[in-house]
Structure 1
Amino acid sequence: MKQSTSLKVRLPTLVVGVEVVMLFLYAGFVTYDDDADAKMQNNETKPMDNSLYHDYHFFADVQVMIFVGFGCLLAFLRLYGFSGMVFNFLTATFAIQWAILVQGYFQFFSDGKIRLGVINLLNAEFACAVVLISFGAVLGKTSPVQLLVMALLEVPVFSVTEWAVLKYIKINDAGGSILIHLFACYFGLAVTFVLFRPGLNEGHAKDMTSYQSDILSLMGTLFLWVFWPSFNSALTLKGDDQHRAVLHTFIGLSSSTLTAFALSAMLNKTGKLTLADIQNVTLAGGVTVGATVDMMISPAAAFALGVMGCTACMLGYRYLTPFLARRLRIQDQCGIHNLHGLTGLISSLAGICAILLATEETYGPSLYQTFAYRAPPEGDPRLRELQRLIPGLKPGLGRSAQRQAVFQVAAIFCTVCLAALGGIVTGFVLKLPFLASPSDEWCYDDEAFFEVPSDFDSADMPKVLSNQETKV
């Protein structure tokens, strides 16, 4: 097959070339951080003071989400199960390796070296999650070579955006609603906009699920659901902030799950449940509480955010996704705009409201830890007073709640614009002749990439189902 021959040359060439370059970069610029460096440790060191014991369990949980949760979730297409899971594995592994270098330069670089510790791996996993969310928009329409090139370009754009927003705009975004979910969503939508294929708007014979593929995808949902509290709380302040993050995430997920079951039955003409809703909409609460996850919003507010996110996500799948494909040339295969875009916007707005309502009466002196940029600046007498109550409190920028809210809005616009611009450029790169696949030959079919088993029969296709029943 022409595709196989092309893959035989392109994939090894790209992987070997990139790995050789990364090997030299790791050799020249990556070393251990203090917690992993034998010279900085001795028998007097208390093991539990090492960051490994604070962060590794979060890293392990996010690993499960990345490789098992996303992998299974993306295997919902009947004839694309191998590709959904394996390309997720390939892309995720590459994205993490690459993010360690790129994020390391912006966040962990000192004395000419990137200081490598478990926290670097955790941050790289979040960058990888961004790539995999964007991957959902182009699922089944890109080759593994194109996916690797997409990751190669997206990780630097994300890392620069993250660095600029955190360093210069300075925002609260503990669960990544702005920097992870919104960025990934609009980057992926921009890529699929450029890769638009008119023939796919009328449906594709291979764009369908099966009993087995839906069960596998549902397993991915369950893994994501169980470990999402770790995803949202991993980078919050240790202590009560992290405790609230776990509580809010679980409550938001629980309320969105129950709401999803109710809405799925209510909106279905036959009154039955639609599995695509259970696979995706149940997760909406985890995104919707993200921006407020470490704040004193109350459990009831987390519950309400889960319901709001679920409702927006459900209506998006039913009505917005078909509209985007018909009117705006955006073929969002996995509906990432519903699960990550709409819910990310709701979460960001909720975060702004929580910032405006945050007072010292509710938080006590820890207000200036949760909202670090509201702490008094260096030299302010109020700072010395607070430091007596909270030793180690760092000077802030003295921002008011209103001023911080303005910066949150600015971060949303900057993130969305940079993501869309980066996605458009990436889309045009993926369309270059030496990367692009011919017409629709690589759509929804493992046979183009794998030696498939004898019972794989892409010719024996039942009728195409409706978008609402097949797309997730």
Structure 2
Amino acid sequence: MKSRSTSPRVKLPAFVFVTQVIVVALYAAFVTYDEHADARFQTNGTNPMDNAFYRDYPAFAHVQVMIFLGFGCLLAFFRLYGFGGMVFNFLTAVFAIQWAVLVQGYFQFSRGGKIHLGVINLLNAEFACAAVLISFGAVLGRTSPLQLLVMALLEVPVFACTEWAVLEYLKINDAGGSVLIHLFACYFGLGVSFMLHRPGLDDGHAKQNSSYQSDILSVMGTLFLWVFWPSFNSALTVRGDDQHRAVLHTFLGLSASTLTAFALSAALSKNGKLTMADVQNVTLAGGVVVGASVDMMISPAAAYALGATGCAACMLGYRYLTPFLARRFRIQDQCGIHNLHGLTGLISCAAGICAILVADEETYGPSLYETFAHRAPAEGDPKLQELRVLIPGLRAGLGRTAREQALFQVAAVFATIGVSALGGVLTGLVVKMPFLDPPPDRMCFDDGLFFEVPPDYDSPLKLINDTTQDSAA
């Protein structure tokens, strides 16, 4: 039976309609086409195949699959919350992307104070959306759709501000998003989860479990993410050898983490059997852990070693750290985002800093100053002119040393964690307000509160309860 206070009948449509009117007005006032989508810039001499669409769309399409199918299926692992996991992911993702186009565009105003929209804007907005969906995993099943939309509404601006500050002022290397996506999303989500702590769920919940069918669906999400993760990590790298390395390193890292996950899952299990939660999550650790150094000359062996190391950290985090955080720090992390994105993100950042410190011209040649653009000589430096003979069009950099660049990377890690955690706590203060219709404890992890569900949707749970009662009798 739906509770009147939690029914989405009035507040959800009102929120959606109001925000959509505002979004349409903002798009009308501030968004126009970029030069690759604007017919006025096309002439008889324009080669259609030079359009940025052909460069950016493949990565955009792959990330689309990750966002809507990968995350959607992965989050459908609760027995009675399959609709919520997939559909609220769908709802939140669409809202976050259209909102991120505006918020990120605010920091990129160009001609006439307009946002010039192209596929690259959508791709960047999907990275912001990925951060929102990762954070969503920490509060999965304990929030209403209205709470999730408000969370996205507040998280996207914090993400965009952090992204702009880190890239514009600290100017770091973060091709795979280890800092700006994984660490940010993790600690923002944990901040929200801390504020949404429910004492009644400290000892678990009867509906906080999976089923045979829900686990299969969740593994499908894992496979979508696994297959397309190389596109995610390489999408914004320098075209050419940098992008090529990013794909290779991501595949090797994922391969290592997958095999290691199967081995550790069996070894750490009391009966030596595989655990589906490990297959669904820990196998993906390699994609995160190579992110900060994914376009660098770290060697294939290092990518493989990083994948195995990240997997081990992630596995141990699920076994020991998640229960500790719940018990000692009131952080209920439903999807274990601290293990898959936080621990592996920190390892990735450490590996990236090491790779920056050892990078030199002997290893990279002149392309060192393309991969590490901020180490390129500043404008006016005679060396810049020499390098432009070898690399036509090379942009002036800041003339940083390897050590200086590494220190800026460290500063970015700490700044991102601090800002995201604080932003998550403040967002949690807003999201926990009663008028956003949080579900009662007894209806957490249950689709019946927000969806029209078929009569047999909870029959597996009833069967287990009946069997338990018969055994007790």
TM-score band w.r.t. shorter chain: over 0.9
Question: 2:38 matched to 1:37?
Answer: yes
Q: 1:436 to 1:428 in 2, by over 3 A?
A: farther
SS at match of 1:31: strand
Q: 1:108 to 1:294 in 2, by over 3 A?
A: farther
SS at match of 2:167: helix
Q: Counterparts in 2 of 1:152-301, with a 5 A limit?
A: 152-301=153-302
Q: 1:291 to 1:5 in 2, by over 3 A?
A: closer
Q: Distance in 1 between matches of 2:99 and 2:375?
A: 34
Q: Distance in 1 between matches of 2:267 and 2:316?
A: 12
Q: 1:108 to 1:253 in 2, by over 3 A?
A: farther
Q: What is the one-letter code of the residue matched to 1:28?
A: A
Aligned-pair CA distance for 1:199: 1.4
SS at match of 1:115: strand
Aligned-pair CA distance for 1:450: 0.6
Cα deviation code 1:350-407 (max 9, x no counterpart)? 0000000000000001101100110111111111111111110111111000010000
Cα deviation code 1:308-362 (max 9, x no counterpart)? 0000000000000000000010000000000000000000000000000000000
Which residue does 2:108 correspond to in 1?
107
Which residue does 1:429 correspond to in 2?
430
Q: Distance in 2 between matches of 1:94 and 1:36?
A: 23
Is residue 163–residue 180 contact of structure 2 (8 Å, CA) maintained in 1? yes
Q: What is the one-letter code of the residue matched to 1:152?
A: L
Q: Distance in 2 between matches of 1:26 and 1:441?
A: 41
Is residue 146–residue 437 contact of structure 2 (8 Å, CA) maintained in 1? no
Is residue 192–residue 427 contact of structure 1 (8 Å, CA) maintained in 2? yes
Which residue does 1:457 correspond to in 2?
458
SS at match of 1:462: helix
Q: Distance in 1 between matches of 2:309 and 2:439?
A: 42
Q: Counterparts in 2 of 1:412-427, with a 5 A limit?
A: 412-427=413-428
SS at match of 1:171: coil
Is residue 4–residue 448 contact of structure 1 (8 Å, CA) maintained in 2? no
Which residue does 1:348 correspond to in 2?
349
Q: Distance in 2 between matches of 1:461 and 1:322?
A: 29
Q: Distance in 1 between matches of 2:4 and 2:108?
A: 40
TM-score scaled by length of structure 2: 0.96
Q: Distance in 1 between matches of 2:462 and 2:231?
A: 43
Q: Counterparts in 2 of 1:375-386, with a 5 A limit?
A: 375-386=376-387
Q: 1:163 to 1:427 in 2, by over 3 A?
A: same
Q: Distance in 2 between matches of 1:426 and 1:351?
A: 30
SS at match of 1:87: helix
Q: 1:181 to 1:59 in 2, by over 3 A?
A: same
Structure 2, gaps ≥5 residues long: 466-473
Q: Distance in 1 between matches of 2:251 and 2:289?
A: 12
Which residue does 1:362 correspond to in 2?
363
Which residue does 2:470 correspond to in 1?
none
Q: Distance in 1 between matches of 2:109 and 2:283?
A: 36
Aligned-pair CA distance for 1:4: 7.1
Which residue does 1:16 correspond to in 2?
17
TM-align CA RMSD? 1.1
Which residue does 1:87 correspond to in 2?
88
- Please identify, of 41-50 and 296-305, the stretch whose mean Cα deviation from structure 2 is larger: 41-50
Q: Distance in 1 between matches of 2:439 and 2:445?
A: 14
Question: 2:119 matched to 1:118?
Answer: yes
TM-score scaled by length of structure 1: 0.97
Structure 1, gaps ≥5 residues long: 464-472
Q: Distance in 2 between matches of 1:442 and 1:158?
A: 31
Q: Distance in 1 between matches of 2:43 and 2:121?
A: 23
Residue identity (%): 75
Which residue does 1:50 correspond to in 2?
51
Cα deviation code 1:38-67 (max 9, x no counterpart)? 000123211221110001000000000000
Q: What is the one-letter code of the residue matched to 1:298?
A: S
Q: Distance in 2 between matches of 1:110 and 1:148?
A: 31
- Please identify, of 34-43 and 350-359, the stretch whose mean Cα deviation from structure 2 is larger: 34-43
Which residue does 1:467 correspond to in 2?
none
Q: Distance in 2 between matches of 1:15 and 1:43?
A: 43
Is residue 143–residue 439 contact of structure 2 (8 Å, CA) maintained in 1? no
Aligned-pair CA distance for 1:456: 1.9
